Amino acid sequence: MKAVILAAGKGERLRPLTDDRPKVVLKVANKPIIEYVIETLDPFVDEFIIIVRYMKEKIIKLLGDEFHGKPITYVEQVEGEGTAKAIYSAKEYIEDGEAFFAVNGDIYFEEDAIRGLLHVFRKKNADAALVVKAFDDLSQFGLVEVEGDFVIRIKEKPGKVSGFANLGIYLFKSDVFEFIEKTEVSERGEYEITDTLNLILSSGKKIAYYEYRGYWNDIGRPWNLLEVNEYILKTKLKHSIRGQVEEGAVIVPPVEIGEGTIVRSGSYIIGPVKIGRNSRIGPNCFIRPYTSIGDNCHIGNAVEIKNSIIMDNSNAPHLNYVGDSIIGENTNLGAGTITANLRHDNKTIKVEVKGKLEDSGRRKLGAIIGHNVKVGINVSIYPGRKIGSNAFIGPGVVVDKNVPPNVLVVV
Ligand code: TTP
């Protein structure tokens, strides 16, 4: 079977991390999001069709033209926004009557979702099928209403109600393209596959559903990256030391240390922690659980890092505290730069997402720093603040507001 993976979105809610790249190439636990999706689909699929548009060359460069010997075809999304348009773009690659998977490229889920989806599709002899999961609060999701073995309706953003959420994992037959052709643009200006599903239902066709009980995360906002990072490190990390650990360093498993990485004396690392290749760690640093550090990074003397993602080629070299934060690629923190990750009033931390303040629901959230950022010495960053890619922050700046990309900020 073929899998159509949707990866054409702009990922605006993930700015500044998507300033210069599509969201699906961002690494969580040192691996790009889309690679997890491909690996999970791999046992069920013999060909991948990836729908691309925004900064597509970065996805093509990352994945190349095959995975485990299975071909990957890249298809530019047809004109128009939305998941329905994205799926429609695969039309000429799907034969008449052929069934295929269609999966959002920015979600984290496990194999059981696909196994179960395939099972209900076949067992119920359905025209299409989708994966659902029960949530107490569906305000961020689409509500899937069911009766017996089949879906009866899908409602976008139903408010604070409980029920089954639509997880963005579908099985269609080629007739879906006819229904997409009839799908109208939604209030938010997109052609949504959920509207297409309602059209399929009103035509009398049957959509089966599989209730998935495993872990799933829709990586839409920066803190979702921290959630998925934590989940992967907690449940999948195997203790493995490929690099060099000097005498006098303490490593509490599970910790993964890649080839060519050196952990110098006096470093104290409490797993689960993952460190990539050719990085320099310590001497005398403290790395706490749920931290991923990429390749070619430098974490130096008197630096403390916890529950954070530090992407490739980035440095926290002297006297830094990085807590519950995300630091993009090629970024450097000056000596003494500190992220604050907790409000004094203990309230949950709000973050500006696409111009609106959103509650992250987290009591602890630090900074979200883009790629190629230079932060000067003794910079203090307020909780939940973002620094845009290619920004320069001068010495001693207090970052209490978000910083746009490509700017210089001085005291
Ligand atoms: P969204 O997360 O709704 O959209 P997005 O990726 O553009 O992110 P943002 O809203 O932050 O800008 O998309 C869900 C999935 O569908 C995701 O895997 C990207 C994909 N998609 C497309 O392939 N084409 C599109 O036109 C849209 C809107 C999304």
pLDDT of amino acid 242: 98
Q: Closest ligand 1 atom to the C-alpha of 52? A: 23
pLDDT of amino acid 109: 98
Work out the average pLDDT over 44-60: 97
Instruction: Tell which one of 6, 37, 190, 358 to mutate to probe ligand 1, the residue whose CB is within 8 A of the most ligand atoms.
Output: 6
Calculate the dihedral angle through the C-alpha atoms of 47, 51, 56, 61, rounding to the nearest 10 degrees. Answer: -10
Buried b (16+ CB within 10 A) or exposed e, 361-393: ebebbbbbbbbbbebbeebebbbbbbbbbbbbb
C-beta of residue 102 within 8 angstroms of C-beta of residue 172: yes
Residue 279 predicted with pLDDT over 90: yes
d(CA 167, CA 87): 16
pLDDT of amino acid 79: 87
**Known catalytic residues?**
318
Residue 289 predicted with pLDDT over 90: yes
Nearest-5° Cα angle at 396, 392 to 397: 55
Residue nearest to atom 28 of ligand 1 (CA): 82
Residue 301 predicted with pLDDT over 90: yes
Query: Which of these, 198, 191, 217, 171, lies nearest to 23 by C-alpha position?
Result: 217
**C-alpha R_g of the chain:** 22
To which residue do tokens 């978000």 refer? 402
Q: Closest ligand 1 atom to the C-alpha of 218? A: 2
Q: Is-cis flag, bond preceding 16, omega within 30?
A: yes
99 phi, psi to nearest 5 deg:
-95, 145
Nearest-5° Cα angle at 250, 245 to 254: 85
Which pLDDT tens digit goes with each residue over 320-377? 999 999 999 999 999 999 999 999 998 999 999 999 999 999 999 999 999 999 999 9
pLDDT of amino acid 215: 98
C-beta of residue 163 within 8 angstroms of C-beta of residue 135: yes
d(CA 262, CA 259): 9
Which pLDDT tens digit goes with each residue over 129-172? 999 999 999 988 889 999 999 999 999 888 889 999 999 999 99
Ligand 1 pocket by Cβ (under 6 Å) = 6-14, 23, 51, 77, 81-83, 85-86, 104-106, 190, 220
C-beta of residue 319 within 8 angstroms of C-beta of residue 302: yes
Q: How close is the Cα of 83 to the center of ligand 1, in Å? A: 7
Mean pLDDT of the chain: 97
Work out the average pLDDT over 384-399: 98
Query: Which of these, 230, 259, 228, 225, lies nearest to 244 by C-alpha position?
Result: 259
